[in-house]
């Protein structure tokens, strides 16, 4: 059975997969969210402006917590939409609500094996299933499916079997429509804001993640690309046991990033891992144009080796995205502009990826440039003194950069001249933010100036020594 954050076993969730159960649960959510808003509105009529603002913050937290609790029980696409809203929502939702919705990223209760076993039998057939010995207690549980450890009886090979929750794909469209209305009723988005385009992008992402045939191909693709780089381990896939709703890979032993064993590694070993994590992102973005956009720590585990050459075990390629060359070209200009301190190049790149409007006033360009220059802080040749070791390495573990950037983005998004970013940027920045947090958790001391320069200028060799 999956464990909770305190290390104890958690009671399996009885999955609500029937249309009646799900519709009833979501109708209840809508009524309660609407009633809560009505009560809050009436109460605000008799409060001062300062008191109203404080009560509004409390209200957003309560509404988001209610939504998060209910979605966590329903599982499936509605829970995934909640997770995606925590990514998109930083551009238009109250910060208090975002913090609560982010809790949906982890700590998901498992589903009882008795609800999943019929799915596996139906998809694989009894004969194939009998070749495997499956542990009914899940290794991990998420919004769209969960993973169980298995053993192939013929040779004892240790496997992982990822099972999609029953009838999940059939409910995606109706779940998204219903949840869009609930979010509006809960008043978690500005009045009059058009949610359709955001939800349409979320819908496409969810359909991508429930396509296990595609995930198998992407896992194999990453395995082939990284086959000769011993810093990374990608599980082997087993097509003979895999279907559109069941994915079987090799089991790869590894430690969680936040485990005591990883925390106790020597500084240089953690630095080596941090550089590997950063370079993996650069490889995906600059060289391949294919990025695994889900930064969940469960997807980046660490194998500690006796020879000191520790490795990342890379898991779950369902959120992998391919980026068009035109988008990449403009984004390179944005990064290069920030790296070089060239505001004009940074702004031109941002306009090219539809993040800024060309007719924006100069103050908007200036504010945006400040955000870009802030993000590039760890990649300066000389990091800020208060965050630098004596030999000039950036102290990721002591930096609050991620939160400074988040706050700067939220402040900038208030302006009507800023757009909700295109989906490519939203999910790319989701992964980039995950890399920053990962290096912070590892307590990295790393000067990444030359590493970024090597990838940014690899084709034209125009590295600027003063950048």
* CA-to-CA separations, 436 to 401, 427, 439, in angstroms, rounded: 8, 14, 5
- Alpha-carbon distance of 46 to 48, in angstroms, equals 7
- The average pLDDT across 54-70 equals 59
Radius of gyration from C-alpha coordinates of the chain: 23
How does pLDDT run across 414-424, given as a tens digit for each residue? 455 555 666 77
How does pLDDT run across 433-456, given as a tens digit for each residue? 889 889 999 999 999 999 999 999
How does pLDDT run across 328-373, given as a tens digit for each residue? 888 999 999 999 999 999 999 989 988 888 888 888 888 888 888 9
51-55, 195-199, 203-207: least confidently modelled range = 51-55
Place of tokens 């069941």: 246
Q: 145 burial class (0-12, 13-18, 19+ CB within 10 angstroms)?
A: buried
* CA-to-CA separations, 124 to 16, 130, 161, 189, 293, in angstroms, rounded: 23, 10, 12, 43, 29
Going by C-alpha positions, the residue among 405, 455, 393 that lies closest to residue 430 is 405
- Alpha-carbon distance of 91 to 406, in angstroms, equals 10
Spatial neighbors of 289 by CB under 8 A, at least 6 apart, are 322, 323, 324, 325, 328
- Alpha-carbon distance of 88 to 78, in angstroms, equals 15
Place of tokens 């009505």: 38
Going by C-alpha positions, the residue among 300, 321, 221, 304 that lies closest to residue 265 is 304
Helix (H) or strand (E) holding 232: strand 232-233
- Alpha-carbon distance of 417 to 354, in angstroms, equals 11
Domains of the chain with CATH codes: 19-111+168-209 (no CATH), 113-164+232-249 (3.30.200), 253-467 (no CATH)
Helix segments in 247-324, DSSP class H: 260-263, 267-282
Structure tokens at 89: 């929502």
Q: Examine the pLDDT at 186 and tell me if it is beyond 80.
A: no
Structure tokens at 341: 């301190």
Helix (H) or strand (E) holding 313: strand 311-314
How does pLDDT run across 7-56, given as a tens digit for each residue? 445 555 555 544 445 455 445 544 444 444 444 444 444 445 455 555 55
Q: What is the pTM of this model?
A: 0.79
């Amino acid at each position: 059975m999956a464990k909770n954050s305190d290390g104890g076993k958690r009671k399996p969730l009885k999955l609500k997969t029937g249309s009646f159960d799900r519709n009833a649960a979501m109708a209840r959510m809508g009524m309660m969210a609407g009633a809560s808003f009505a009560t809050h509105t009436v109460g605000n009529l008799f409060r001062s402006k300062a008191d109203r603002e404080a009560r509004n913050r409390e209200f957003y937290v309560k509404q988001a917590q209610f939504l998060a609790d209910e979605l966590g029980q329903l599982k499936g696409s509605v829970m995934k939409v909640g997770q995606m809203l925590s990514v998109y929502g930083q551009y238009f939702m109250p910060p208090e609500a975002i913090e609560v919705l982010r809790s949906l990223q982890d700590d998901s209760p498992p589903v009882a094996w008795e609800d999943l076993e019929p799915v596996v039998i139906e998809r694989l057939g009894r004969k194939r299933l009998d070749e495997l010995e499956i542990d009914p207690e899940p290794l991990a549980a998420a919004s769209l499916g969960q993973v169980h450890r298995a053993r192939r009886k013929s040779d004892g090979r240790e496997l992982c079997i990822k099972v999609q929750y029953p009838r999940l794909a059939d409910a995606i469209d109706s779940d998204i429509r219903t949840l869009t209305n609930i979010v509006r009723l809960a008043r978690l988005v500005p009045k009059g804001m058009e949610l359709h385009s955001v939800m349409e992008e979320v819908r496409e992402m969810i359909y991508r993640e429930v396509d296990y045939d595609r995930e198998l191909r992407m896992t194999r693709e990453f395995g082939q690309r990284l086959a000769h780089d011993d810093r990374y381990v990608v599980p082997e896939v087993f097509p003979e046991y895999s279907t559109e709703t069941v994915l079987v890979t090799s089991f790869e032993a590894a430690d969680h990033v936040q485990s005591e064993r990883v925390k106790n590694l020597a500084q240089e070993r953690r630095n080596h891992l941090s550089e590997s994590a950063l370079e993996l992102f650069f490889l995906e973005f600059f060289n391949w144009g294919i990025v695994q956009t889900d930064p969940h720590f469960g997807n980046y585990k660490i194998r500690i080796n006796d020879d000191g050459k520790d490795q990342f075990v890379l898991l779950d390629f369902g959120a992998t995205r391919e980026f068009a060359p035109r988008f990449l070209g403009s984004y390179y200009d944005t990064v290069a502009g920030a790296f070089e301190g060239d505001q004009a190049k940074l702004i031109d790149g941002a306009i090219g990826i539809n993040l800024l409007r060309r007719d924006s006033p100069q103050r908007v360009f200036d504010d945006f440039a400040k955000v870009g220059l802030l993000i590039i802080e760890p990649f300066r040749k000389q990091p800020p003194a208060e965050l630098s070791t004596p030999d000039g390495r950036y102290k990721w573990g002591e930096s609050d950069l991620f939160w400074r950037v988040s706050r700067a983005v939220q402040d900038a998004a208030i302006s009507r001249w800023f757009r909700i970013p295109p989906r490519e940027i939203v999910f790319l920045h989701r992964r980039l933010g995950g890399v920053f947090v990962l290096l912070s958790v590892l307590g990295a001391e790393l000067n990444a100036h030359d590493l970024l320069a090597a990838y940014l200028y690899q084709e034209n060799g125009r590295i600027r020594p003063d950048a």
